[in-house]
Chains A and B, each alone.
Chain A
């Protein structure tokens, strides 16, 4: 219900955007931030060069303000990944592993990027990426191109599509050719389009 109200509140903003030429990446991310979605379901396909077929997984993403992100994979295996600040904790088959993201730029590029996208944190994104927006408020597509050469050696691009303040798809292209596609849907029923 709260989500619905928030969504409706965000509408005049979007409608107004058609008149004024201020609709940009910042307003998209602002819209994402103001939806304050805290839980979304995801399904992910990972295409790895060494494997013939993509790896499929699904689960729930939960955002815990101010900077906590939890990725709970429920299929094919139960796994839990939590990100708190720069500490990443990963639990699998009863074993817990801890990573410090500052030590592992590859893991950091992915996890921190996802968190910034889900929370609409434009400051974090603009620090590392060039943002390119296309489409309109109802069906937008945002390209994130790394500006940091070190990041560029790891990530080719992150592409996001969505509507209004909602993310639908995050595509993550690694420099080595591996990529993953994550489809998102809010846990509660998505509000009907007005």
Chain B
């Protein structure tokens, strides 16, 4: 016995299966799970998109956390802000913690003051001639008498020409409200009712685990050190920003995936128990599904380095499709007639009658299921070519999962199945259902008419079918988005819409390019087309520019002479301004400003966000990023900017974030629609090649297309805008439905057992997807609300259009 070929095949199949299971488990154990929406950004974008995607993934905004403290009184809030700020600075998790008390503020001011003659754009040789000095000093004296005198008075004798004041105005013009309001020494909202902090994490924003750690630290520190003692009014903490969104997304997706997987699994198991009346059978029927899911996760992990939460969400729905294979197997092989034996399993000498029955049934159901699996895989293969890693993941996941489930059903399940004899027949159930499936044939013209009406509706509303933008996919609630917007407004932290990006081989070349662009853009500032230009060269001029400024500074003798003449007619004596003469003498020998001088300052953070080092294929290059501000956020005349860029002689990209984002999302949608159509076409070709009859192909295909059109029209009528995941859902309707359609077109009408298995398979699919439709998360809801009704329609319409050759089985 132990040497029989069947036993050998059995042990080979089982050990291979166990090996695959163990390997998958090991890979899954080391898998990283992500949930950031950037997986749904293109992998091979245009230069402009590449910049945008990079900023979304790695830019300052991806690491920025905003905190608001509400409640109690202003003093308690200020104290909490100070305590929280100090503790978070100590934690080492953040590259900056700003709340108005930042020690970096004084360092920043000192840095600007000490390097004013290298930084100020006004420094030329003419600037120190008597007439120019006279005007500059007279201006500073006017300032002394003004409310601003409180700042300029302390440094007047060192800086009588007002370079520091000019520099600060140049970097952060007053009156533009670009700094948060400070009260009681900490940042507050304009109405003073909320204390504010702004943090940046050290880790990259794409590292969701690190973001979760940073956020947990904030909450722990706040509860432990910032809350006033018991008995006093409590403070409320508000934390928002991209890191919060990515952590919350992951948590929400995981929670819903777990919850709905559990509900759907329990419902399906309950249903199967009811029908099979055998626990062992239920467990056995789950084997292909579970193996499929594990192999699918492992495959995605190997292929992409990480598994996205949305892909896992998709796994729930895979249960609904893959369980069908074992249902077909168990039900259709139960009532297999003996005389139908074939050589499917190389016709081994059957050890038991039940195994024989399995083999016989296998011959009937396997070719149909094989074709169904083939069409499904063909459809999903199109997604593999998607430029969006998220969609490619779903494609790979589905292919690996379905293929594994089918193979396990075919090659492992028969060897595990000892209990065939105990299976009770579902033929009676099938016979009960037969009139329903037959009756539905009378509705075929009704379905056709309905489909035509739906087509008319879809054509009429073709502009309003699809949702634009990624925001529709985000699991973040509108309340959380509103909180984020409120804190951003309080902090006056605006999102810049227009950028110019220059790419250079070295840091100095990038700075020089920024300076050339700055010079070319300056006329637009005077004209009022732009209100402000933010350039890295304003903070760190190129070495050449710094040297030129240093050379423009007069020597001690010349300056003393010029100063004597300059102060004539002014209420100040030249001798009083000796510190100024000393400062210039010192500046002439001062070491030039380098990026290292900015270490640990907030100005350094601003500089890093505008002057970025990039490494690509082992080569380092530098990006200079220039931000353009327009009056009251009016749309910018892009032609003027492009002219200025051309005039500067620098090769640079002008980026309109809004236009690029819209373009990005549109290309994203079109790409996915094109891929889905390609998938559909591939399915048609496969079916055509196998069925070898245009009439049969049409009979299989038409019901599926009608189901798709009806679902699209139904969702549109329900006021839903379809997104990318609805689209994948439509592809799934074709993939799942093709199994039903094929069973109805096997050349003869399906027997009672097949009808019963189809009904059961359909019910499990509806359960799996139907539960997802109740999720609040747009992605899961989109899958569920598309596939659940689609699967029912596909079955009914397939039955309606089934081959009429034979009457219902007796």
Contacts and interface: CB of A to CB of B under 8 A. Distances in A.
**Residue of B147, B181, B573 with most chain A CB atoms under a 10 A cut-off:** B147
B156 A79 contact: no
Contacts of B169: 95
A73 to B, nearest CB: 9
A67 interface: no
B147 A52 contact: no
B174 A96 contact: yes
**Residue of A50, A76, A88, A103 with most chain B CB atoms under a 10 A cut-off:** A50
Query: How extensive is the interface on chain B, given as a class?
Result: 20 to 34
A121 interface: no
Interface in A64-92: 76-77, 79, 81, 86, 88, 90, 92
Contacts of B142: 76-77, 92
B148 interface: yes
Interface string A95-132: 11111101110110011000000000000000000000
Given A50-B157, A51-B571, A53-B571, A100 B144 contact: no
Nearest to B139: A93
B361 to A, nearest CB: 82
A55 B150 contact: no
Interface in B509-533: none
Contacts of B571: 51-55
A128 B801 CA distance: 92
B182 interface: yes
Contacts of A106: 150
Interface string A151-194: 00000000000000000000000000010000000000000000
Contact of A90 (B147, B153, B157): B147
Interface string B413-437: 0000000000000000000000000
B177 A57 contact: no
A46 interface: yes
A90 B148 contact: yes
A96 B175 contact: yes
Contacts of B572: 50-52
A193 B182 CA distance: 48
A81 B183 CA distance: 21
Main secondary structure of the interface of B (DSSP, over half): loop
B181 A100 contact: yes
Contacts of B177: 98
Contacts of B147: 81, 88, 90, 97, 99, 107, 110-111
A48 interface: yes
A54 B141 CA distance: 11
**Residue of A77, A95, A97, A178 with most chain B CB atoms under a 10 A cut-off:** A97
Contacts of A77: 142
Contacts of A52: 571-573
Nearest to A105: B150
B157 to A, nearest CB: 6
A102 B183 contact: yes
Interface string B130-174: 000000000001101111101001001100000000000100001
A191 B144 CA distance: 36
A184 B619 CA distance: 71
A25 to B, nearest CB: 28
Given A51-B572, A53-B571, A46 B182 contact: no
Contacts of B658: none
Nearest to B142: A77
Contacts of B576: 50
A88 B142 CA distance: 18
B184 interface: yes
Contacts of A55: 141, 144-145, 571
B182 A97 contact: no
Contacts of B181: 100
Contacts of A95: 169, 174-175
Contact of A92 (B146, B184, B185): B146
Nearest to A96: B175
A81 B143 CA distance: 13
A99 B148 CA distance: 9
B182 A90 contact: no
A152 to B, nearest CB: 17
Interface string B746-789: 00000000000000000000000000000000000000000000
Nearest to A91: B175
A178 B185 CA distance: 26
Contacts of B185: 103
Given A50-B576, A55-B145, A100 B156 contact: no
Contacts of B174: 95-98
Contacts of B157: 50
A46 B145 CA distance: 7
Interface in B297-315: none
Given A77-B142, A95-B174, A97-B148, A50 B156 contact: yes
B311 to A, nearest CB: 50
A106 B152 CA distance: 12
Interface string A29-47: 0000000000000000010
Contacts of B146: 79, 81, 90, 92
Nearest to A95: B175
Nearest to A108: B150
**Residue of B145, B150, B184 with most chain A CB atoms under a 10 A cut-off:** B145
Nearest to A48: B144
Contact of A102 (B144, B153, B175, B184): B184
A97 B183 contact: no
A79 B156 CA distance: 21
A100 B182 contact: yes
B573 to A, nearest CB: 6
Nearest to A89: B175
Contacts of B156: 50
Nearest to B157: A50
A98 B175 contact: yes
B115 to A, nearest CB: 23
Nearest to A85: B192
A103 B145 contact: no
Given A97-B174, A100-B183, A102-B182, A107 B150 contact: yes
A45 to B, nearest CB: 10
A98 to B, nearest CB: 6
Interface string B563-587: 0000000011100100000000000
A97 B150 CA distance: 13
A141 B284 CA distance: 102
A98 B146 CA distance: 13
A178 B183 CA distance: 27
Contacts of A46: 144-145
Nearest to A106: B150
Interface in B549-602: 571-573, 576
A98 B145 CA distance: 16
A86 B576 CA distance: 35
A55 B148 CA distance: 15
A159 to B, nearest CB: 20
B164 to A, nearest CB: 15
Contacts of A79: 146
Nearest to B100: A103
B143 to A, nearest CB: 8
B153 to A, nearest CB: 7
Contacts of A96: 174-175
26 contacts: A46-B145, A48-B153, A50-B153, A50-B156, A50-B572, A51-B144, A51-B571, A52-B571, A52-B572, A55-B141, A55-B144, A55-B145, A55-B571, A79-B146, A81-B147, A92-B142, A95-B175, A96-B175, A97-B148, A97-B174, A100-B183, A103-B182, A103-B185, A104-B150, A107-B150, A178-B153
Give the 9 A-B CB pairs with smallest separation, nearest first.
A96-B175, A53-B571, A97-B174, A106-B150, A51-B571, A102-B183, A103-B182, A55-B145, A52-B571
Given A48-B153, A57-B145, A103-B182, 16 more contacts: A46-B145, A50-B144, A50-B572, A52-B571, A54-B571, A55-B144, A81-B147, A90-B147, A95-B175, A97-B174, A97-B175, A100-B182, A102-B183, A104-B150, A107-B150, A110-B147
